Structure 1
Amino acid sequence: MHGWQVTFFTHQSARHRGRPMGEWLVQLARELGLRGATLVPAEEGFGHNGRLHAARFFELAEQPMEVVMALSEEESQRLFERLQAEDVHLFYVKAPVEFGTLGEASA
């Protein structure tokens, strides 16, 4: 199948509707019936403003987070329409990909 890999970049202290942004995005993916989402904690990074975000013992709130999804065109449209309706401010990368599943599902 051809579609999109969408990666959202945020950090642990970013919130939407009172929840950590990364967790909210994963829950939104479930709510929309998307095929999956993975929340990935990162060690450190910096954004467009040059500010460093890092996972340090006393600064876990600044830990960078990524949420990665593989989506069909229709799923991508539904997701981005919902994000716009929610007025979410996030940086993302959207790249064309081929994806699928190999083998049979285990019990």
Structure 2
Amino acid sequence: MSDLFEVCFYFSDEKKYEKKASHQFIVETARSLDLPGCTLLRSVESFGKNKKMHAENFFELQGNCEYIAIFVLNEAQKQSLYSKLKEAQFSCYITKASVETDVIS
């Protein structure tokens, strides 16, 4: 079994990439690379290193949303996605951890 990583990308939707919102761009990029899947989460409330609060409320619904894109990838898939995002100058914070997977049926 190959080594797998859970890779999480944390980003906001304030920038556009190839005329697409950040969340659309990362999902479409992953699909174009034929990656095995992506889970995209939109935050309800968050803050970053600058301690500025971001909350999904009436006044911010049209504003800057925070997202997390989660992947489980092998090393080659991870490098392929990293390269594509670097090429597009996609800016985000990334965490990665070695994981084991299993299926219950």
Q: Where do 5+ consecutive residues of structure 2 fail to align?
A: none
Cα pair 1:6 1:69 within 8 Å, conserved: yes
List structure 1 segments (4+ residues) > 3 angstroms apart after TM superposition: 100-103
CA distance in 2, matches of 1:67, 1:81: 16
Work out the percentage of aligned pairs sharing the same amino acid. Answer: 29
Q: Where do 5+ consecutive residues of structure 1 fail to align?
A: none
Cα pair 1:55 1:62 within 8 Å, conserved: no
Partner of 1:37: 38
User: Following superposition of structure 1 onto structure 2, how do residues 1-107 of structure 1 map, counting pairs within 5 Å?
Assistant: 1=1, 2-60=3-61, 61-103=63-105
CA distance in 1, matches of 2:101, 2:30: 17
Aligned length: 103
Alignment RMSD, CA only?
1.6
TM-score, length of structure 2 as denominator length: 0.86
TM-score, length of structure 1 as denominator length: 0.84
